[in-house]
Amino acid sequence: MARRSRVYFPGALHHVIGRGNQKQSIFSDEKDYRIYLDYLSEYKAKYSFHLDVLALMKNPFHLLLGVGEVFLSKIMQVLQFRYTRYFKKRVRKADHLFLRTLQGRFMR
């Protein structure tokens, strides 16, 4: 059965959860947290979304985002891809960093 389309309108709030694949840690130390926050800040300025709540743990993380003109999928795609590329290079791993779920590309 096909997944329902995500409701989109400017100002909509979305609870986003990111979990590590096979329960692995997403962040290994303070540097990883800082890098993720830097990327998040960069894309927040670029895509003009509101970040209302942020909780970063080793596994998982939670974000409450208020979207503007750019779809949530685009924001999360660029953020997760860039951080995953950084993290894989740092720890020299080749497998998936984030859990791929039945609900779609990221949890809501």
- pLDDT higher than threshold 50 for residue 108: no
Res 103: pLDDT: 44
Helices 30-47 and 72-91 cross at an angle (nearest 10°) of: 150
**Residues 32-52 pLDDT 10s:** 999 999 999 999 999 999 999
Report the distance separating Cα 89 and Cα 96, nearest Å: 12
Q: What is the mean pLDDT of the chain?
A: 86
- pLDDT higher than threshold 50 for residue 19: yes
Burial 67-81 (b: 16+ CB within 10 A, else e): beeeebeebbebbbe
Largest distance between two CA atoms of the chain: 41
Q: Which single residue is written with the structure tokens 């986003």?
A: 16
Where residue 102 falls among pLDDT bands split at 50, 70, 90?
very low
What structural domains and CATH numbers belong to the chain?
13-91 (3.30.70.1290)
Q: Are 73 and 45 in contact (CB under 8 A)?
A: no
